[in-house]
């Protein structure tokens, strides 16, 4: 019972936090819209109003509702790995202009594939294999894009 109450409280806090954030965005849009021309002001003001109205409504509904909505599907799996993946992506993107597409891509490929959870414990051979696959894939994409599609990919500025 206590567990259930905590879940409800947690859900409620999440909903309210979400609504408040979007409500603030709406207020900000309303405020910023004042600076625009008459023709360019209408839409942002309308969107700001809509966001504000909906988030206030969501808070009201949250407090007034008596019955439980069907609970959202539970999130399974490791949150640590998720955060790690996001961090790796951010580092990758930040490093891209310095390392260039190929180097950054190969490194990111190897590291991300190492971060994927595995069923078996043959990690060292897998890691080597994935790194080789990563290098081949990255270079393959690089060749196709630059030579065939004529898309100049970021070059290293660091070396």
Partner 1 sequence: MRLIVKGCLVSLAIFSAISASSSVNAFPEKSVRLTVGFGPGGPSGIAARFMQKRFTAVTGQELIIINKPGAGGAKAWSQIKKDKKDGYELTLLNFPHTVLQPIARGKNAGYSYEDIQPVLYYTSVPQVLAVRKDSPIKTFKDLVSAIKAKPGSVTIGGTGIGGSNHSAFYKFNKVGGFKAAYVPFKDTSSTIAGLKSGSTDAAWTFTTQGVKDGDSIRLLAIASDKRMSLFPELPTLTELGYPVVDVAYWSIGVPPGTTSNIRQKVSDAFQKVVNDASVKADMSKGGYQPILIPYPKSNEFKARLGKDYGAVGKALSKKKK
Partner 2 sequence: MEFLQHISASFSPYILAVGTCGLFLGILLGALPGLSSTFSCAVMLPISFSMDPVPGLIFLGTVYMGSTYGGSFSAILIKTPGTPQSITTTFDGFPMAKRGEGGLALSIACMASVIGGLTGIFVFLWLAPPLAEFALMFGPAEYFWLALFGLTIIASLSEGNLMKGLISGFFGLALSQIGVSVVSGDMRFTYENSALIGGIPIIPATIGLLCLPVAIDLIADADHHLSTPLTERSNNFLRAARAIWDRKQNALRSSIIGTLVGIIPAAGGAIASLVAYAEASRTAKKSDRFGDGDPGGIIASESANNATVGSGLIPTFVLGIPGTPPDAVILGAMMVHGVQIGPKLFTEHNDIVLTFLSGMTIATVLMLPVGLFLGRFIYSAVTKMPKSYLVPMVALMLVIGSFAIQNNYHDIVIMLVLGIIAWVISRFGFPAPPIVLGLLLGPIAEQGFAQALMIGRAKDSVLEIFFARPISIALIGCILAAIVLPPLLRRSSFNRLRMKENVST
CB 77 within 8 A of CB 48: no
Which one of partner 2, partner 1, none is in contact with 130 (Cβ closer than 5 to 8 A by kind)?
Answer: partner 2
Assigned token pair, 10: 């947690």
150 binds partner 1, rule: CB under 8 A: yes
CA 77 to chain centre: 17
- The C-alpha atoms of residue 131 and residue 119 are separated, in whole angstroms, by 18
Which one of partner 2, partner 1, none is in contact with 153 (Cβ closer than 5 to 8 A by kind)?
Answer: partner 2
- The C-alpha atoms of residue 22 and residue 28 are separated, in whole angstroms, by 10
Selected binder of partner 1 within 71, 76, 152, 159 (CB under 8 A): 152
Which one of partner 1, partner 2, none is in contact with 17 (Cβ closer than 5 to 8 A by kind)?
Answer: partner 2
Identify which of residues 7 and 43 has a Cβ nearer to partner 2 in the complex.
Answer: 43
Shortest spacing between CB 93 and partner 2, in angstroms = 5
Q: Give the range of 6-14, 52-60, 105-113, 148-156 binding partner 1 by CB under 8 A.
A: 148-156
Question: What are the residues whose beta carbons fall under 8 Å from the beta carbon of 139, sequence distance 6 or more?
Answer: 102, 106
Q: Give the range of 57-65, 98-106, 107-115, 144-152 binding partner 1 by CB under 8 A.
A: 144-152
In 3D space, the residue among 20, 9, 104, 101 whose CA is nearest the CA of residue 55 turns out to be: 20
Shortest spacing between CB 96 and partner 1, in angstroms = 14
Which one of partner 2, partner 1, none is in contact with 86 (Cβ closer than 5 to 8 A by kind)?
Answer: partner 2
Interface with partner 1 in residues 34-93 (CB under 8 A): 37
- The C-alpha atoms of residue 44 and residue 142 are separated, in whole angstroms, by 41
CA 120 to chain centre: 29
Which residue's structure tokens are 């894009």? 145
- Residues that bind partner 1 in the complex, under the rule CB under 8 A: 37, 150-152
């Amino acid at each position: 019972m206590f567990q259930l109450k905590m879940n409800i409280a947690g859900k409620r806090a999440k909903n309210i936090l979400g609504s408040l954030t979007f409500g603030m965005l709406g207020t900000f849009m309303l405020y910023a819209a004042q600076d625009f021309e008459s023709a360019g002001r209408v839409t942002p003001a309308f969107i700001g109003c809509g966001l504000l109205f909906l988030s206030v409504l969501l808070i009201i509904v949250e407090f007034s509702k008596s019955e439980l909505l069907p609970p959202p599907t539970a999130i399974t799996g490791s949150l640590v790995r998720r955060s790690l993946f996001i961090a790796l992506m951010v580092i990758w993107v930040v490093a891209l202009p310095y390392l260039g597409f190929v180097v950054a891509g190969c490194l990111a490929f190897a590291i991300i594939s190492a971060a994927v959870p595995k069923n078996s414990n043959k990690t060292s051979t897998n890691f080597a294999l994935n790194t080789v696959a990563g290098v081949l894939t990255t270079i393959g994409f690089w060749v196709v894009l630059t030579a065939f599609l004529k898309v100049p990919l970021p070059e290293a500025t660091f070396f």
